[in-house]
Structure 1
Amino acid sequence: MTTLDPKLKAAARTVAAHAYVPYSDFPVGAALKTADGRVFTGCNVENRSYPLGMCGERNAIGAAAAAGVRPGEIRELVIYMPGDRLFSPCGGCRQVIAEFLPADARVWATNDGVSFKEWTAEELLPDGFSFDGLEPSV
């Protein structure tokens, strides 16, 4: 079993303080580590059109992608939420996680306490949608 990286937890907690959450009042921060050791963070950003809000997980992965990180290069993702309850990533985040993290990459949910939940990317979205094996139509 792997262990939760305290530096990633601290980075996720720090960025959660920058979340824009006037509607849910539920700040979430995410920090990820790439195969070469780079760390990227993101927080949730809400707006009045709820479906257009962005989760911390997707913002962290988007920041990594903007820096040139490609699918398969992210090794670990930590999601921080305040309080004592833990939640898993939403469905949209699960799809993005499935596309950018290898199936065996670790995803952690953590909070202000010492508790955490741990999954592999594949456990979060078993049999996720993929274009693998499909022939392009020309």
Structure 2
Amino acid sequence: MALRKSTIVKQAAEAVRRDDPADRLLVTLTALPGGSPWPHALVAGSFDAEQYFLTLTERSVLVHDIGFLNYRPRTLLHRIPRAEAADGFTDLRRRPLWSHFRLHLPGDAGPTRLNVRRAWRPELDRMAAALASERPVSAAR
């Protein structure tokens, strides 16, 4: 089970190479979908809770689900082109312990709230900046 951030990023890079050998990883973070993350946090991680690896690459945003026993990327759930991800990345709120944003995932009726732990905030900021640079000037207000 990967517990160190560097190991988690390495495993995500392996998953990106497996899914698209020509693409290059830029930023990886973990996110917990849904409403408030506090019920999840208070029950020591809730083994049944769904979690995602979000990986920004040169061409897309990859969403992998996380195996709850080994905390490794399992299945590639979505491959979202960067321009589409930039349009769907909204409502970023930085908080002391859990930040969150909304991302429109393919097949969903509306955007999904994704919660990010404080440890991953630098990566969240890098991802947000990279996706903001993809937006047209008129849409970046």
The TM-score, its normalising length taken from structure 1, stands at: 0.32
Could you say which structure has the higher strand fraction?
2
